[in-house]
Amino acid sequence: MKQSISGSSGDSVVVYGSTGFVGRIVCHEAQNAGYSVISLGRTKCRNSSESIEIDYSSYNYLLEATADLLLRDNLPKAFIFCHRSRVSPQICDADALLLSTIVEINPYHALKEALIKTRRNGALNIVTVTSNAAFRYAEDVHFNYHIIKHAQVAVSIGLSMIPSSLHVFSNVVSFGEIINTERKEHDLHHKRLFAWLSRCSLNKSVPSINDLARAVITLCKADSMGICGQILTVDSGLSCLTQEFLVRSLYAKS
């Protein structure tokens, strides 16, 4: 029986990147938990009570929108960051890194400035959703992506330490390989990968995108659990295993 994580009547959460791969499911799980969803993104989000279109590279507009959210009668329960940058492959790596960093870090800086200026009291939860590229290097993942994910984790944890009249609880959910339940069929490569991961992981399964979203929604109540500055890894315990065990499992017969 799955644990029910319900938001209080009138509670809202703010989701950045609500139309992306992860953001869509996070919005859905938030609504299932009883929250109303306020989305901030490049396009309108159907899975939200209120959708605000905004350009992440425009800092002043981000700051204005963020400050407005903190001034509302009902303070949002949490700010959830699921957004990702989209940079043309035709520009050089250095320019791409700069543009990606602006897009991915701007929302945090806008929230930081708004938190410093606010005079209201209460608690605010911040949840960053990121891949384990921030902690595990992979040669098949672009170098810039690793750098940006590291920066995202650093700025997220840093928000817990800024001077604000609000009590800020900022945490990170890091995920490895997950099953996209929106797909009815996976290709042969992913089927083999999921089979091997299931054989290796501590609970003999691969987490789904829904598992990831539920972990995010759990941390929307981090203030009630005293959880702050933590990184929650969703990978069925795979990161706890030794290299020797993984190598033996890789070459073991199915």
The model's pLDDT over 90-112, given as tens digits with 9 standing for 90+, comes to 677 888 888 888 889 999 999 99
Q: Quick one: pLDDT at residue 32?
A: 93
Strand order in the sheet with 50-53: 50-53, 36-41, 12-16, 78-81, 123-131, 167-175, 231-234
Strands 167-175 and 231-234: parallel
The token pair at 46 is 């159907």
Which pLDDT band, with edges at 50, 70 and 90, does 253 fall under?
Answer: low
C-beta separation of 166 from 120 below 8 A: yes
Which SS3 state, helix, strand or coil, does residue 106 take? helix
Q: Quick one: pLDDT at residue 4?
A: 39
Segment 134-138 mean pLDDT: 71
d(CA 162, CA 115): 8
How does the average pLDDT of the chain come out, rounded? Answer: 84
Q: Quick one: pLDDT at residue 194?
A: 66
Specify the DSSP element, H or E, that contains 98. helix 93-117
Whether 132 has a pLDDT exceeding 70, the answer reads yes
In SS3 terms, 20-76 reads as: CHHHHHHHHHHHHCCCEEEEEECCCCCCCCEEEECCCCCHHHHHHHHHHHHHCCCCC
B/e letters for 34-47, b = 16+ CB within 10 Å, e = fewer, are: ebbbbbbbbeebeb
C-beta separation of 227 from 169 below 8 A: yes
Which pLDDT band, with edges at 50, 70 and 90, does 8 fall under?
Answer: low
What is the reported pTM?
0.87
d(CA 26, CA 82): 9
Residue type for 31, please?
Answer: Q
Q: Quick one: pLDDT at residue 141?
A: 73
Which pLDDT band, with edges at 50, 70 and 90, does 10 fall under?
Answer: low
Q: Quick one: pLDDT at residue 208?
A: 83
What domains are defined for the chain? Answer: 12-182+206-237 (3.40.50.720)
C-beta separation of 39 from 15 below 8 A: yes
d(CA 134, CA 152): 8
